[in-house]
Structure 1
């Protein structure tokens, strides 16, 4: 399918959840005393309702569209959008209550994070909609063969529900407490901004590196095997580090309003990124032209947290 068709699908696909929520909120404002049992359930269980909408609108609908297109590209794009949708869902829910300053800052930060990641996504995809699916899904498609059609429902979509609802839990916490803004909120804001900025510069440096190598290939010149300049000279995955700073900074907001148990969201995401880091590095080592260079890079450079590069130590000389 063409990029225009994919763009239209992308804009239409979240409408069921958006229209349902708008009708639910309007109905509550006009008929708050005469509500059905289902309306009452939606009113008093905002988190369960969010999961139900995710199950129906993302897990099922995205999965069916992915099967029809034979390409599960859309969940990658919506990683940048769903947190924004969840944030506005929690903030506009009839039972929401929040400190106005904390709510406004958190919503603004989520939009900034989404703009950064959306820009990075489209820049990487050459500004096309649905050009390709995540390489991990492509590998699993080959690995699982004829069983991939039903396994993809769990591997691609249900798993994303666990991650996305989990890491967005602080937005639920922020909009369920009137606790006044304090210094911890300021710290959370600084951590979130630092994460967004680091991830942006890391992604930009990686994009420029890839573009330069493509130019070198076109000119018939040997490519540079590994990026080890800028932030990548201090961390092998500074983009992942920035992303983790962002989610843990958001957690501080939730912890500060008494929802410390919500650490399960960013912790699960961090553990997932550990696994992804292993996959990425294994993939790098499979490419012969860069394998040896990357092994040296692994020996001298921190995995996630930016740190001063260490020297490569040669074998010790024997002394008599």
Structure 2
């Protein structure tokens, strides 16, 4: 019988981020960050598969533990302010508010105000059949995504991933399935006379800012789960990787200013956030 996956696999924790809100201006505020990574290898008696990370790509790829994640354009991202996007390519921010309402917006230049880092990833396999690939999923088995949170910062946070610089692969995750209490939510984004509600963000096209649907999704649809004797695969894989090929992983972290949870109720929040990846070997004809 044709099967999709083998039973050996590997897991890698790739991101460790510490965010602390240090200043705020009522729903559009600032945050600082620090980042590091590490890697894990899985092997069998006859075959081995290693997920390698590097801070550089191409011929400069060097497996490193940890691999350094740096801001792509070298902008100082110590302070992050709320921004809004529906595509991870065009971000807007509000330079000021009027009576607590954000109604004037500008495009973010040079990736200021949000974090955009990059690492390089490669699945190195030995003893594998021709046509072998690796499917990449999220792994929250240790309960580390969105844990160790002081305050409610994650309710308004977003994590975006883009693989191999192909924005058709982008996925934006909500980092919490919870919401602030109604008294701690703020609806203060106004565009063309309309106050944005739940599940709305801002888009930027050719100099025009418009309301758009929030593209963020739950991490559950990309997260592998485990029982005593089986592994349950989610509906979606983040990426199907060819073995021994280097891929870029672009990492975006930002505060969605249009989210009603992006309010002063989460000032001085702290977040210890880890994002786990889980890779599964897939072989043609197996």
TM-score, scaled to structure 2:
0.26
- Bigger Rg over Cα: 1
Structure ranking higher in helix proportion: 1
Structure with the higher fraction of residues in strand conformation: 2
Where relative contact order (Cα < 8 A, 6+ residues apart) is larger, the structure is 2
TM-score, normalised via structure 1 length:
0.24
